[in-house]
Structure formats: C-alpha cells, structure tokens
Amino acid sequence: MTVIDANRMHEIETRYPEYFHRSFRQRFGGLMILIATLLYSLYAVWFFDLPKLFAEAHWERVGIYLSQWVSYDVQPELRIEDDGSIDIRYPRFSPLGDNPHPDWLVNNPDGSITVSISGTSRTVTVSKSETIVTAHGVSVPVEVSSGAPKVVGPVPGWMTVYDDNVLADLGFAGNVSISVDRVKIRKRFVGWANFIFDTQSSFFDKPVGEVVSLIVSGPRIKPDQSNLSLAFDDIWNNSEWQHGDVWTKLFQTIVMAFLGTLLGALTAFPLAFLAARNITPNRLLNQILKRFFDFLRSVDMLIWALFLTRAFGPGPLAGSGAIFLTETGTLGKLYSEGLENIDNKPREGIKSTGAQTVLVHRYGIMPQIVPVFVSQTLYQWESNVRGATIIGAVGAGGIGLKLWEAMRTNANWENVAYMVILILIVVFIFDTASNALRHRLMCTKTH
C-alpha cells in the first residue's frame, strides 16, 4: 500500500487543480440544468393550460378523420310513403352511380327492406310501422307509426334517443338515423371509391378483365376515339379524384421549388463573394450584404408568398418568387460563411504566381467550396419541396392550394389522404436523391 505524504499531496493538487478545486458550476451544473428543465416544463404546462387542453380535446375526431382517410360511405335514404310503400333514394353524385342496385339492400316479400350494414351481424329492416336494428347480438325494434320514433324495450348504449329521431351508432360500419317518415343509413366501405373511373365513365363498375379486354381488343365505345385513349381520358379527368389537376399541381410544386432554389443560388453565389470579409476587404459592403441576407431570411417564406400573391395574383409565380427571396438570404449567408472559413494557403499560393483575381478564385477557392455549396443547395431544394406545399395553401399555386381546398370542405378526407401520400412520396424521392448526391460529393471531397 502506497502512502502519500502531505508534500506529495500538495504537489498533485497543484498539478491537477480542476479535479481538487472544482468551481460551483462544475459541481452543481448538472443539477441546476435538471432543476431548470423541470421548472420550465412546469411553466409550459401552466402557460399552455395542458390539463384543460387535454380534457376538452375532441379525441374521437381523430378516429373519425383517420377512418375517412381509408374509407368511403354510401348513404341510402328509405322514405316511408303515405300508402305504406318504401322509396329508396341516394344523394346526388353517389359513389354507386345514377341507378344503383347494391346486393346489400334486399326487398323482402312482405314489402319491407333489409339493409346489411356489416354482414349479418349488423342489419336494418325497415317496414311501414317499425324499423328493427340488429347489432352487438341484439335486435332493437323502433316504432315509427306514431308522432315520434319510440324504442321498444330497453335502450342499448349504442343507441341515442332524441325528440324527433333515434340514432344507432354501429361503429366503423356506419350508423342509422330513424325518424317517423324516413330512415337514413350510412354504410362504410374500406378503400377509395371510383379511384380509377368515376360514375360518368364508360368503364365504370366493369370488372377488371372486361376493362382490359375492351382496351386491348374490344369494339370502340366511341367511334372517333380508341378505347385506350378513352380510358386514359376518363382516368385523367376523373371528376371525383381529379387526377389530372392533382398531378399538374404536384408538378407545379416541384417546379416552384426547383426554380426558386436555382434562382436563389445563382443570385446568392456572386453576392456571397462580396459579403465574405476575406474575399472582399470592404467592411461597409460586407455588412450591407450580410444585413440584406438577414432581412430576406427574417421574413418567412409564407409572408413573402402573401406579399407576392397580392402583387402578382395567385399562382406558381408568387410561390417561386417567395422561395427565391428566402433562398437568396439563406444561401447567401451559408455561402459567405463557407467562404470565410476556407483555407487561404491555396489561394495565397496561386496569387503569388501573379495570376488574375478570376483565376485565383477559380483554382484557389472553388475546389474547396463547390462540394459544400452544392450540398447546402441540395438540402435547401429538398426542404423547399416541402415548403412549396405550405405556401401553396395561401394561393401561391401548387398542390398546397388543392390540399387546403379539400381540407376546408371537411368532407373529402380521402382526397386529402391521396394528396398527402403523393407529397410524402415526392419528398421521400427528393430526400433520397439529395442525400445520395450530398454523400457522393462529400466523399469525393474527402478522397
């Protein structure tokens, strides 16, 4: 066992004071950060009133909206006429077309009508005097012959009685609203209705084999147009899904992002040389350009889009201009900072040979900065593909405006899902391509 005397101990303390004479910050810094984080979290809970927010939130709407993203509903209305007959009606532009005869709606011999909501476990049978709702293993009759509908027997938890109607909630499968003279049924199907051909198409409701046969070798449906051309027109001009308009707007979004980023990069590149202190030794000019870049960056792209839509009107020109202004500021700052951090030795070596300024920049600066500049520009382009979607919602063109219109109706959530998926695919493609190019450039620079 080694014994350390007082002199040796004093020598060690003198040599390593950071271990034996730690400051207050070093001793209690971690604890202070933990306490500050806890206090800030409590402040955020109070400031945003999170308990009340969570208590009053409509969490049930999440499931409703998600179900509408992946499904559609058909809404037959069964009207009980004065003579006891039942008239079946569908809303205008029903997914089933103008003359629907679904196999899940059956006319019974006694004049009643049975509608299958979900197989045989959830059904509705409508007659002139009562409506019987079968669900969750029980059948509940509702009399409709008096002044108001009346549930016979105990009311189950999935059924709600109002003054003039009875509502039966059958979960994801749909619901039934029963009044004295009519029964409204909402039956839900998984999938996207009429995604390929709408109800006005000559190919609507035909089996896949028959459609393929008509396109390949069938007789012409329209004498002046081939069946292949007709099928493409019907898909492109689908009135429910508007594929042509959606894809055109998506392409506008991509062009907006590309054009705005390209023009911003071309403008920022020469200005960055003037803003860099080690390239242009003019302090006044350096500061003016850097503050100019800060001004362009400080105004959000969305605000620029609002300004430009007022100046030029709604459309992709305003969107491209908003991206251009924002990227001029962002890339100008990134480029100038990149130039100020270059290694000056290659530049000084070329300058010592008496080369012109252009050649000094070309061979002393450009090889160092091109990979970094291209990498930064690619990242901004990738980011602007997402940004172009947002500014489209304020009228700057592209698929963002189309997406906002679909969301505003609060009824076309399957169309919203369609456009969101397209946007995700485009962003994923550009993100993958941008990352691959940046990785290749940086590896090339390293080697």
Residue-range definition of the domain harbouring residue 299: 243-446
Same domain, 35 and 93: no
Mean pLDDT taken over the chain: 86
Is residue 212 domain-resident? no
In tens, the pLDDT along 124-174 reads 999 988 999 999 889 999 998 777 889 988 899 999 999 889 999 988 888
Same domain, 383 and 278: yes
Give the DSSP per-residue string, 155-204. PPTTEEE-SS-EEEE-GGGEEEEE-SSEEEEEEEEES-TTSSS-TTSTTT
Phi, psi (rounded to 5 degrees) for 190: -80, 135
Which one has a higher pLDDT value, 235 or 82? 235
Nearest Cα to Cα of residue 429 among 396, 381, 395: 381
Q: Residue 115 pLDDT more than 90?
A: yes
Please report which confidence band the pLDDT of residue 1 belongs to, taking 50, 70 and 90 as the band edges.
Answer: low
- Asked which of 25-29, 50-54, 81-85, 271-275 is least confident by mean pLDDT, the reply is 25-29
Same domain, 184 and 273: no
**Angstrom distance (rounded) from CA 336 to CA 292:** 12
Q: Residue 300 pLDDT more than 70?
A: yes
In tens, the pLDDT along 254-292 reads 999 999 999 999 999 999 989 988 888 888 999 999 999
Segment 426-430 shows an average pLDDT of: 87
Is residue 219 domain-resident? no
Which domain-ending residue is among 190, 210, 226?
190
pLDDT value for 16: 66
Is residue 233 domain-resident? no
Same domain, 338 and 249: yes
pLDDT value for 398: 84
Under a CB-based contact definition with an 8 Å cutoff, are residues 372 and 292 in contact?
Answer: no
**Angstrom distance (rounded) from CA 195 to CA 56:** 37
Beta-bridge partners for 188: 73
Same domain, 42 and 80: no
Give the DSSP per-residue string, 86-154. EEEE--TT-TT-SS---TTEEE-TTS-EEEEEETTTEEEEE-SSEEEEEETTEEEEEE-SSSS-EE-SP
Is residue 405 domain-resident? yes
Phi, psi (rounded to 5 degrees) for 69: -70, -35
Q: Residue 60 pLDDT more than 70?
A: yes
**Angstrom distance (rounded) from CA 164 to CA 142:** 12
Same domain, 424 and 365: yes
Same domain, 358 and 256: yes
State the DSSP code for 75: -
Which domain-ending residue is among 156, 173, 190?
190
Segment 190-210 shows an average pLDDT of: 89
Q: How many CA atoms lie within 13 A of 13 on its CB side?
A: 10
Which three-class secondary structure state does DSSP give residue 396?
helix
CB neighbour burial string for 172-197, b if at least 16 within 10 angstroms, e if fewer: ebbbbbbbbebbbbebbeeebbbebb
pLDDT value for 446: 47
**Angstrom distance (rounded) from CA 291 to CA 300:** 16
CB neighbour list of residue 237: distance below 8 Å, 6 or more residues apart? 243, 244
State the DSSP code for 246: H
CA max distance for the chain: 115
Is residue 58 domain-resident? no
Q: Residue 316 pLDDT more than 80?
A: yes
Q: Count how many domains the chain has.
A: 3
Segment 408-436 shows an average pLDDT of: 86
**Angstrom distance (rounded) from CA 251 to CA 240:** 20
Same domain, 41 and 93: no
In tens, the pLDDT along 161-192 reads 998 899 999 888 889 999 988 999 999 999 99
Same domain, 108 and 27: no
Q: Residue 363 pLDDT more than 50?
A: yes
Read off the tokens for 219.
């007789």
Q: Residue 342 pLDDT more than 90?
A: no
Same domain, 341 and 408: yes
CB neighbour list of residue 310: distance below 8 Å, 6 or more residues apart? none
pLDDT value for 442: 66
Q: Residue 444 pLDDT more than 60?
A: no
Q: What percent of the chain has a predicted confidence (pLDDT) above 90?
A: 34
Which domain-ending residue is among 163, 190, 217?
190
Same domain, 80 and 169: yes
Is residue 198 domain-resident? no
**Angstrom distance (rounded) from CA 167 to CA 369:** 68
Is residue 179 domain-resident? yes
**Angstrom distance (rounded) from CA 307 to CA 249:** 21
Same domain, 413 and 290: yes
Under a CB-based contact definition with an 8 Å cutoff, are residues 260 and 323 in contact?
Answer: yes
Q: Cα angle at 21 between 20 and 23, to 5 degrees?
A: 135
pLDDT value for 83: 82
CB neighbour burial string for 93-104, b if at least 16 within 10 angstroms, e if fewer: ebbbbeeeeeee
CATH number of the domain at 365, please. Answer: 1.10.3720.10
Please report which confidence band the pLDDT of residue 293 belongs to, taking 50, 70 and 90 as the band edges.
Answer: very high
CB neighbour list of residue 124: distance below 8 Å, 6 or more residues apart? 114, 115, 117, 131, 132, 133, 134, 168, 176, 183, 185
In tens, the pLDDT along 239-258 reads 889 999 999 999 999 999 99
Is residue 115 domain-resident? yes
**Angstrom distance (rounded) from CA 37 to CA 39:** 5
Read off the tokens for 253.
């979004």
Q: How far is CA 401 from the centre of its chain?
A: 12
